[in-house]
């Protein structure tokens, strides 16, 4: 389907109500999307904002519509005020608002613990700094694209499984890096590939059913382990299908009113189908 036709299909999708009051007390940073930072974190926001903005435009080109979006790059002190995610440093998006940690978060250090001893040299080559420390900020900055992708499907596309929703966001992330920031492919792919190798027995939760039942409640590092595995699969899916697979996955579970009514009529009850069109 061409982008123009796709845009016509999604033009009447509901828009989200973005909470602009969350901007109170933050400093606006110039960028393609409305971007705001905790005082003192303007430079971090100036680095993350363009990633969010360019990935937003990239997804517009693939999906054909423009949801409302704003970016918050905040301190640990401001975090509880602007989002409901309890763990500082776990990027999130809700109702068009992307929230990204502006400083190295304790959570990030736990990611290194997932890497097996035989893989430490490769891990340190990609994420090691000149002073010998491990810095994962460059990887976490890219996760802004994952959250931008959530803004596109939130309120417009309801995936039938949570893991598919997260795979979509990870696919968008891989597609953007591969097309718009290929120099960062090693940064994006190395940690998920190595961290995802941590044995399932290392975690309280490791099954697909646990993920669907508990989602983020599996716990921060455990949730990230699931995400690492999904990111690896997203990269493999992109390699098989290219950029077009992003829109194919987005469209795969979309039901317009007529299609839904037809399915209800055939599989449930014709009267319910009529009601679905009149409701």
pLDDT, tens digit, 9 for 90 and up, residues 229-261: 999 999 999 999 999 999 999 999 888 889 889
Domain extent listing, the chain: 3-278
pLDDT at position 11 is 42
Class of residue 91 by CB neighbours under 10 A (exposed 0-12, middle 13-18, buried 19+) = buried
C-beta neighbour count of 187 within 10 angstroms: 18
Q: What is the pLDDT of residue 121?
A: 96
> Which pLDDT does position 204 carry in this prediction?
97
Pairing of strands 92-94, 97-101: antiparallel
Q: Indicate the CATH number of 3-278 among 3.30.40, 1.20.1260, 1.10.390, 1.10.3210.
A: 1.10.390
Quote the pTM value. Answer: 0.89
Could you report the per-residue pLDDT of 182-200, keeping only the tens digit for each? 999 999 999 999 999 999 9
CB-count exposure of residue 132 (10 Å: 0-12, 13-18, 19+): exposed
DSSP 15: P
Handedness of CA 229, 235, 239, 244 (dihedral sign): positive
Cα R_g (the chain), whole angstroms:
20
For the chain, give the percent of residues with pLDDT over 90: 80
Percent residues over pLDDT 70 in the chain: 94
pLDDT value, residue 16: 57
Q: Which two tokens stand for residue 279?
A: 């409701």
């Amino acid at each position: 389907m061409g982008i123009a036709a796709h845009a016509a299909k999604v033009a009447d999708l509901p828009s989200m109500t973005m909470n602009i009051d969350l901007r109170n007390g933050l400093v606006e940073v110039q960028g393609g999307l409305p971007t705001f930072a905790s005082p003192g974190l303007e430079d971090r926001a100036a680095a993350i904002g363009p990633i969010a903005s360019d990935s937003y435009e990239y997804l517009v080109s693939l999906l054909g519509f423009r949801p409302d979006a704003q970016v918050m790059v905040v301190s640990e002190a401001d975090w509880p005020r602007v989002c409901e995610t309890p763990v500082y440093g776990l990027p999130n998006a809700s109702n068009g608002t992307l929230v990204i940690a502006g400083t190295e978060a304790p959570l990030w250090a736990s990611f290194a613990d997932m890497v097996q001893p035989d893989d430490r040299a490769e891990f340190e080559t990609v994420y090691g700094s000149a002073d010998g420390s491990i810095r994962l900020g460059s990887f976490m900055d890219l996760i802004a694209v994952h959250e931008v992708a959530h803004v596109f499907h939130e309120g417009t596309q309801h995936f039938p499984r949570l893991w598919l929703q997260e795979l979509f966001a990870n696919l968008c992330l891989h597609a953007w890096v591969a097309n718009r920031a290929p120099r960062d492919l090693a940064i994006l792919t190395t940690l998920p590939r190595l961290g995802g190798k941590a044995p399932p027995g290392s975690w309280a939760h490791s099954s697909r059913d646990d993920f669907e039942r508990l989602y983020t409640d599996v716990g921060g590092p455990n949730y990230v382990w699931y995400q690492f595995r999904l990111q690896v699969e997203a990269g493999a899916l992109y390699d098989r299908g290219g950029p077009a697979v992003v829109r194919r996955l987005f469209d795969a579970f979309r039901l317009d009113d007529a299609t839904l009514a037809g399915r209800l009529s055939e599989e449930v009850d014709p009267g319910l189908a009529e009601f679905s069109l009149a409701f």
